[in-house]
């Protein structure tokens, strides 16, 4: 129960900040440093992967799609990203899979609030 309460408080605090973060990313993407916008977009990518696609928080949608390439939604994402960059999802997974493996091996995906 404690985890649910803390989670609720965190989410109600983070969601408005996430909306603000999205607006900042859009503004910086047009008028600011590309590196900062890229880092924000990467964080947003991981957020969407974890919340919408039920993936790992430390993995991009592309890498997750490659791991789950037998599923309909993953095939759709692979097809879209291939239109922009050939083998994008496969390369993303090759780059990110060692991180996923290390986190799972060390148990860093386990609950932290008991």
The secondary element (H helix, E strand) that includes residue 110 is none
pTM of the model: 0.78
CA nearest to 46, candidates 27, 64, 62, 60: 60
**What pLDDT does 114 receive?**
62
Which residues neighbour 99 within 8 Å (Cβ) at sequence distance 6 or greater? 58, 59
Rounded average pLDDT per 10-residue block, the chain, 114 residues? 82 86 87 86 92 93 97 97 96 96 91 70
Q: Which pLDDT belongs to residue 32?
A: 85
Rounded to whole angstroms, what are the CA distances from 83 to 53, 56, 73, 92?
A: 21, 25, 16, 15
- 99: tokens are 């991180």
Give the C-alpha separation, 43 to 26, whole Å. 13
3-state secondary structure of 63: helix
Residue 59 has, within 13 A of its CA and on its CB side, a CA count of 33
Predicted local confidence at residue 81, as pLDDT: 96
């Amino acid at each position: 129960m404690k985890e649910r309460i803390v989670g609720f408080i965190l989410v109600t605090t983070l969601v408005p900040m996430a909306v603000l973060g999205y607006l900042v990313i859009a503004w910086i993407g047009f008028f600011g440093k590309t590196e900062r916008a890229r880092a924000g977009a990467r964080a947003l990518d991981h957020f969407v992967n974890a919340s919408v696609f039920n993936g790992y928080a430390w993995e991009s949608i592309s890498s997750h799609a490659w791991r789950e390439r037998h599923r309909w939604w993953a095939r759709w994402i692979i097809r879209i990203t291939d239109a922009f960059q050939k083998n994008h999802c496969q390369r993303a997974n090759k780059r990110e899979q060692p991180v996923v493996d290390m986190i799972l091996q060390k148990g860093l995906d386990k609950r932290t609030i008991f």
